[in-house]
Structure 1
Amino acid sequence: MRVSKEWLNDFIEIKTDINELSEKITRGGIEVDDIIDYTADIKKLVVGYVEEVSQHPNADKLNICRVNTGEEVKQIVCGAENVRADTYVIVCQVGGRLPGGIKIKKAKLRGEVSEGMICSLDEIGIPGEYVPKEYQDGIFIFQDEQEAGADALPAVYLDDQVMEFDLTPNRKDALSMIGAAYETKALFGGAVKRPDVGFVEVDDPVDVTVVNADSEAVPYYSLRVVKDVKIGPAPTWMQIRLIKAGIRPINNVVDISNYVLLEYGQPLHMFDYDQIGSSEIVTRFAEEGEKMTTLDDKERSLKSSDVVITNGKEPIALAGVMGGDFSEVTDETKNVVIESAAFNPVSIRKTSGRLNLRSEASSRFEKGVSHEFVLPALERAAYLLEKYAGGKVSSGYNADGELDTSGSVIKTSRDFINNRLGMTLETAEIEETLSKLGLETTVNEDELEINIPSRRDDLQIAEDITEEVARIYGYDALPTSLPRFENITPGKLTDEQSKLRIIRHQLEALGLSQSINYALTSKEKAAQFTDRTEGLKLLMPMSEDRAVLRNSLIPHLVDNVVYNNSRQQKDVQLFEVGRIFISKGQDTQPDEVEKLGGIITGQMNRTDWLGSHVPADFYAAKGILDSVFEKLGILDNINYIPVEGYPEMHPGRTAEIALGESRVGFVGELHPKYEKDHDLNQTVVFEVNLDELLDVKLGSIEYEVLPKYPSISRDIALVAGRDVPVSTLVDIIEGAAKKYLVDVYVFDVYDGEHIEDDKKSVAIRLTYLNKEETLTDEAVEDIHQPVLEALKVEGFVLRG
Structure 2
Amino acid sequence: MKVSREWLNEWIPNEVPVSELAEKITRGGIEVDEIIDYTAEVKNLVVGYVKTVEQHPEADRLRICQVDTGEETHQIICGAPNVKADSYVVVCKVGGRLPGGIKIKRAKLRGEVSEGMICSLEELGIKEDQVPAEYQNGIFMFQEEKMAGEDALAALLLDDQVMEFDLTPNRKDALSMAGAAYETRALFGGEVALPAHAVEDGTGSSALEIRNADTEAVPFYGARIVTGVAIAPSPTWMQMRLIKAGIRPINNVVDISNYVLLEFGQPLHMFDRDQIGSDEIVTRYAHENEKMTTLDGRERKLESGDIVITNGSEPIALAGVMGGEFSEVTDQTTSVVIESAVFNPVSIRRTSGRLNLRSEASARFEKGVSHEFVLKALDRAALLLTQYAGGTVASSVLSSGELDVEDTTINITKAFINSHLGMELETAEIQETLSKLGLSTAVDGDALEVSVPSRRDDLKIKQDITEEVARIYGYDALPSSMPDTSTTSGKLTDEQKKTRTIRHQLESLGLSQAINYALTSREKAEQFNELEGTVELLMPMSEDHAVLRKSMIPHLVDNVVYNRNRQQKDVQFYEIGRIFQSNGTGVLPEEREMLAGVITGEMNRTDWLGTKVPADFFAAKGIVESVFAKLGLGDSIRYEQSSRFDTMHPGRTADVLLDNERIGTIGELHPKYAQQNDLDRTAVFEIDLDRLLSVKQGNIFYDQLSRYPSITRDIALVVDRTVAADTLVRTVETAAGKHLVDVFVFDVYEGDNMEAGKKSVALRLTYLNKEHTLTDEEIEKQHTPVLEALVANGAQIR
TM-score interval w.r.t. the shorter chain?
A: 0.7 to 0.9
- 1:743–1:768: 8 Å Cα contact kept in structure 2? no
1:624–1:405 distance in 2 versus 1, CA, 3 Å: farther
Deviations 1:520-571 (A, max 9, x none): 4444444433334542444455555544433333344344445555655554
State how far apart, in whole Å, the 2-side matches of 1:385 and 1:703 are.
94
| Distance apart, 1:483 and its partner CA | 4.9
| Distance apart, 1:8 and its partner CA | 0.5
State how far apart, in whole Å, the 1-side matches of 2:117 and 2:676 are.
77
Match of 2:553 in 1: 554
| Distance apart, 1:691 and its partner CA | 1.8
Match of 1:789 in 2: 784
1:96–1:565 distance in 2 versus 1, CA, 3 Å: closer
Deviations 1:744-772 (A, max 9, x none): 555444555676654643332426364xx
| Distance apart, 1:262 and its partner CA | 0.7
State how far apart, in whole Å, the 2-side matches of 1:659 and 1:527 are.
25
State how far apart, in whole Å, the 2-side matches of 1:732 and 1:277 are.
98
State how far apart, in whole Å, the 2-side matches of 1:531 and 1:442 are.
70
State how far apart, in whole Å, the 2-side matches of 1:570 and 1:765 are.
40
| Equivalent residue runs for 1:590-669 within 5 Å | 590-669=589-668
Q: Please, what TM-score do these two structures have when normalized by structure 2? A: 0.80
State how far apart, in whole Å, the 1-side matches of 2:106 and 2:761 are.
103
Match of 1:687 in 2: 686
State how far apart, in whole Å, the 2-side matches of 1:549 and 1:319 are.
39
Match of 2:710 in 1: 712
Match of 1:16 in 2: 16
| Distance apart, 1:11 and its partner CA | 2.2
State how far apart, in whole Å, the 1-side matches of 2:533 and 2:733 are.
46
State how far apart, in whole Å, the 2-side matches of 1:74 and 1:88 are.
15
| Distance apart, 1:398 and its partner CA | 0.5
1:649–1:254 distance in 2 versus 1, CA, 3 Å: closer
Secondary structure, in 3 states, of the residue corresponding to 1:201? coil
| Equivalent residue runs for 1:365-404 within 5 Å | 365-388=365-388, 389-392=390-393, 394-400=395-401
Larger deviation, residues 548-557 vs 265-274: 548-557
Larger deviation, residues 564-573 vs 21-30: 564-573
| Distance apart, 1:626 and its partner CA | 1.7
Secondary structure, in 3 states, of the residue corresponding to 1:761? strand
State how far apart, in whole Å, the 2-side matches of 1:294 and 1:747 are.
81
State how far apart, in whole Å, the 2-side matches of 1:38 and 1:466 are.
38
Computed over aligned residues only, the root mean square deviation of the Cα atoms, in angstroms, reads: 4.8
Larger deviation, residues 654-663 vs 255-264: 654-663
Deviations 1:353-384 (A, max 9, x none): 67665543344345544444333322322333
1:40–1:664 distance in 2 versus 1, CA, 3 Å: closer
- 1:287–1:302: 8 Å Cα contact kept in structure 2? no
Deviations 1:420-444 (A, max 9, x none): x8x6464756776565455667899
State how far apart, in whole Å, the 2-side matches of 1:621 and 1:447 are.
72
- Structure 1 residue 761 and structure 2 residue 761: aligned? yes
| Distance apart, 1:268 and its partner CA | 0.7
1:88–1:585 distance in 2 versus 1, CA, 3 Å: closer
Percent sequence identity over matched residues?
56
1:564–1:233 distance in 2 versus 1, CA, 3 Å: closer
1:693–1:289 distance in 2 versus 1, CA, 3 Å: same
Secondary structure, in 3 states, of the residue corresponding to 1:667? strand
- 2:143–2:235: 8 Å Cα contact kept in structure 1? no
- 2:211–2:280: 8 Å Cα contact kept in structure 1? yes
1:119–1:168 distance in 2 versus 1, CA, 3 Å: same
* 1:323 alignment partner AA: G
1:251–1:628 distance in 2 versus 1, CA, 3 Å: same
1:711–1:213 distance in 2 versus 1, CA, 3 Å: farther
Secondary structure, in 3 states, of the residue corresponding to 2:199? coil
- 2:729–2:744: 8 Å Cα contact kept in structure 1? no
* 1:579 alignment partner AA: R
- Structure 1 residue 315 and structure 2 residue 315: aligned? yes
Structure 2 gaps of 5+ residues are: none
- 1:199–1:386: 8 Å Cα contact kept in structure 2? no
| Equivalent residue runs for 1:90-101 within 5 Å | none
| Equivalent residue runs for 1:196-595 within 5 Å | 196-204=196-204, 207-213=207-213, 218=218, 220-286=220-286, 291-296=291-296, 298-304=297-303, 307-345=307-345, 348=348, 358-388=358-388, 389-392=390-393, 394-400=395-401, 424=423, 426=425, 436-438=436-438, 455=455, 472=472, 483=483, 488=487, 490-565=489-564, 569-595=568-594
1:344–1:724 distance in 2 versus 1, CA, 3 Å: same
- 1:3–1:180: 8 Å Cα contact kept in structure 2? yes
Match of 1:182 in 2: 182
State how far apart, in whole Å, the 1-side matches of 2:539 and 2:674 are.
33
- 1:234–1:255: 8 Å Cα contact kept in structure 2? yes
1:324–1:512 distance in 2 versus 1, CA, 3 Å: same
* 1:498 alignment partner AA: K
State how far apart, in whole Å, the 2-side matches of 1:596 and 1:754 are.
44
- 2:107–2:115: 8 Å Cα contact kept in structure 1? yes
1:648–1:129 distance in 2 versus 1, CA, 3 Å: closer
* 2:787 alignment partner AA: K
- 2:639–2:726: 8 Å Cα contact kept in structure 1? no
* 1:784 alignment partner AA: I
Deviations 1:175-227 (A, max 9, x none): 31122223323433334333332222234455433334455654543322233
State how far apart, in whole Å, the 1-side matches of 2:244 and 2:539 are.
45
- 2:642–2:655: 8 Å Cα contact kept in structure 1? yes
State how far apart, in whole Å, the 1-side matches of 2:374 and 2:692 are.
61
Larger deviation, residues 392-401 vs 148-157: 148-157
- 1:94–1:106: 8 Å Cα contact kept in structure 2? no
State how far apart, in whole Å, the 2-side matches of 1:497 and 1:443 are.
55
Secondary structure, in 3 states, of the residue corresponding to 1:794? helix
| Distance apart, 1:624 and its partner CA | 1.7
Deviations 1:623-642 (A, max 9, x none): 22221122223232223234
1:767–1:335 distance in 2 versus 1, CA, 3 Å: same
- 1:711–1:768: 8 Å Cα contact kept in structure 2? yes
State how far apart, in whole Å, the 1-side matches of 2:708 and 2:430 are.
77
Structure 1 gaps of 5+ residues are: none
1:395–1:672 distance in 2 versus 1, CA, 3 Å: closer
Q: Please, what TM-score do these two structures have when normalized by structure 1? A: 0.80
| Equivalent residue runs for 1:35-50 within 5 Å | 35-41=35-41
| Distance apart, 1:74 and its partner CA | 4.9
| Distance apart, 1:82 and its partner CA | 5.8
- 1:749–1:760: 8 Å Cα contact kept in structure 2? yes
- 2:725–2:745: 8 Å Cα contact kept in structure 1? no
State how far apart, in whole Å, the 2-side matches of 1:214 and 1:234 are.
37
- 1:230–1:391: 8 Å Cα contact kept in structure 2? no
| Distance apart, 1:405 and its partner CA | 7.1
* 1:280 alignment partner AA: E
* 1:334 alignment partner AA: T
| Distance apart, 1:9 and its partner CA | 1.3
Deviations 1:470-522 (A, max 9, x none): 665556666775556x9745444333333222222222222233333443444
State how far apart, in whole Å, the 2-side matches of 1:583 and 1:295 are.
46
Secondary structure, in 3 states, of the residue corresponding to 2:187? helix
Secondary structure, in 3 states, of the residue corresponding to 1:254? helix
- 1:295–1:323: 8 Å Cα contact kept in structure 2? yes
Larger deviation, residues 386-395 vs 453-462: 453-462
Larger deviation, residues 345-354 vs 14-23: 345-354
